[in-house]
A and B are shown apart, each in its own frame.
Chain A
């Protein structure tokens, strides 16, 4: 974790999203897929908290060495302010934060699932997996064409790609869940990675649990500090031995978790309640394939 004053090298619009490329060699050097950065807001504003963004690109070599890119959808006050940021402006950035995706050692066929801006970390992951000689297939979902992030990059990075939009403006009409089985079978998926909304992640988790496919998902939860201090971004996660669960912080214990160990009902039910551990304990979930 480093805190830097990073210069904006490039600010541009990509479909519905905004992308900022920063000069931040200290952060870029250490960044791995699934990790995020936090960006401070201007001190004179009434919104105080840092904003957190998945790292989309961290270049260590070549013409873009030492740069770092993140992507966002300007929805709230903070992201709207950031969308107006110009090149050569400086941002207060902390990163890389969080636990990254783990790479499989032996298994080779990886299915990467991304919903909306979840594609940003997933493309970064695809690059790293390919550099390790893995087969990458992708399933990209979004509301509409505008929200399909860089479809061309997705195609370039994957063996096969499935694109699905809610309104059918690009690829097939429907949701990720509709195409999940077809893509998993077609690509011979041995490992599944996902980033997106909770409902989708849960569907992916259920699918993988049923078929015993090891998987990792990057979750999103309301986060104040991003550094493990405030304990607001917790996710109920079953312990390794199944003896109970703990409210783990998405910022430091995640954001990448084994979805088979997340207590989805307790985390995202209509009435999330922290019930006691059942007397028989929780099922023991096998660990990530070494």
Chain B
């Protein structure tokens, strides 16, 4: 049987189901020589804002067990400079680009979105909702309020000619409900999950290790959290494309994400350690498909064998 790694996320096609996650490959300028863009399924850019953003003060990172805690803010050159300087380089390399959109107001999301329409190379948008809502959220992230999520996702999706993926954190009060609301508001698909809030403490200096105190945890430490989120959402909405992200490091991890219900995976922290991680993950996935005689990653999707959930009364003493 001839295997192919190509995937189609309801109209958004990637040559392979392994993409670089947002924040781990910059925006396209000075991509390290060790990263082979041609062998990536796609690149999700750093989150883009309307004006250039300087991000947070340092220290911005701390290493935690099996994880990486970071708080970079949304440092980026601004969407106009991205379109003029960075995007042509990514487009020239022929890699599909998913542009990550951020903002601090609904207007900013919409204006960033408008700059990204009909640009060669951009195949989809990914909405990042972790920035502070300075309009109505009193500085809390947008994802903390369902009405704001729906408002942003709805407005951007109605306006954008590009399919819109919404990146959601796992620790929402009702993730499945929120995901459903996003889809009803017009989202094409979902990216699960955003980094998990974490705190690292320096006991000698009695200070947090990051300048912003709380940061986002990534890496293998959050993999089970990501898998659970993907699994729950995919069970509820099997026809909605999900890009899985959170600790994918090996080919086997990618297989696990697909089995849980992801349509493709994004690689973040693993790439910072091993710049050829996405290539090795894709190779591992291909080997798995060959060994099992499965034709395509799509045939793996959601194939996790689960027993019927036990009733509350069953097994109780």
Contacts and interface: CB of A to CB of B under 8 A. Distances in A.
Decide whether A and B are members of one complex.
yes
A266 B63 contact: no
Chain A CB within 10 A, most for which of B56, B58, B67, B219: B58
A234 B275 contact: no
Contacts of B59: 221-222, 232
Given A46-B66, A48-B67, A224-B68, A231 B60 contact: yes
B68 A49 contact: yes
Contact of B55 (A48, A229, A231, A273): A231
B273 A48 contact: yes
B33 interface: yes
Given A40-B273, A227-B32, A48 B58 contact: no
B211 interface: yes
A246 B81 CA distance: 15
B273 A274 contact: no
Interface in B133-147: none
A231 B58 contact: no
Contacts of A252: 30
A91 to B, nearest CB: 14
B58 A222 contact: yes
Interface residues of A, number: 32
Nearest to B72: A231
A230 to B, nearest CB: 5
B272 interface: yes
A3 to B, nearest CB: 6
Given A46-B65, A48-B68, A267 B272 contact: no
Contacts of B68: 48-49, 224
Interface in A211-250: 221-225, 227-236, 246-247
A63 interface: no
27 contacts: A1-B34, A3-B34, A48-B269, A49-B63, A49-B272, A94-B34, A94-B275, A222-B60, A222-B61, A224-B68, A224-B272, A225-B272, A227-B275, A228-B32, A229-B25, A229-B272, A230-B70, A231-B55, A232-B58, A232-B59, A233-B58, A233-B60, A234-B75, A246-B54, A266-B57, A272-B57, A274-B56
A50 interface: yes
A48 B63 contact: yes
Contacts of B57: 266-267, 272-274
Interface string A115-151: 0000000000000000000000000000000000000
A274 B75 CA distance: 12
B169 interface: no
Nearest to A276: B54
Contacts of A235: 58
B219 A221 contact: no
Contacts of B269: 48
A3 B273 CA distance: 12
Chain A interface main SS type: loop
For the complex of A and B, list the 6 residue pairs with the smallest distance between their C-beta atoms, beginning with the closest.
Answer: A225-B272, A232-B61, A272-B57, A232-B60, A227-B32, A222-B59
Nearest to B52: A246
B207 to A, nearest CB: 10
A274 B9 CA distance: 40
A252 B34 CA distance: 14
Contacts of B274: 40
Contacts of B61: 222-224, 230, 232-233
A221 B58 contact: yes
A223 B59 CA distance: 9
Nearest to A267: B58
Interface in B14-69: 23-26, 30, 32-35, 46, 54-63, 65-68
Contacts of A247: 54-55, 75
B8 to A, nearest CB: 28
A124 B35 CA distance: 29
Given A47-B63, A48-B273, 15 more contacts: A1-B34, A3-B275, A224-B63, A225-B271, A229-B35, A229-B275, A230-B23, A230-B272, A232-B59, A233-B58, A233-B60, A266-B57, A267-B58, A272-B211, A274-B57
Nearest to A41: B273
A236 B41 CA distance: 34
A230 B220 contact: no
Nearest to A226: B272
A223 B269 CA distance: 13
A280 B11 CA distance: 51
Nearest to A246: B54
A30 B68 CA distance: 30
A225 B274 CA distance: 9
Contacts of A231: 23, 26, 46, 55, 60, 72, 75
A49 B273 contact: yes
A232 B58 CA distance: 7
Contacts of B220: 48
Given A48-B269, A227-B32, A272-B211, A234 B26 contact: no
B99 to A, nearest CB: 17
Contact of A50 (B30, B219, B273): B273
A231 B272 CA distance: 11
Interface in A13-72: 40, 46-50
Interface hub of A1, A231, A235, A266 (most chain B Cβ within 10 A):
A231
A16 to B, nearest CB: 19
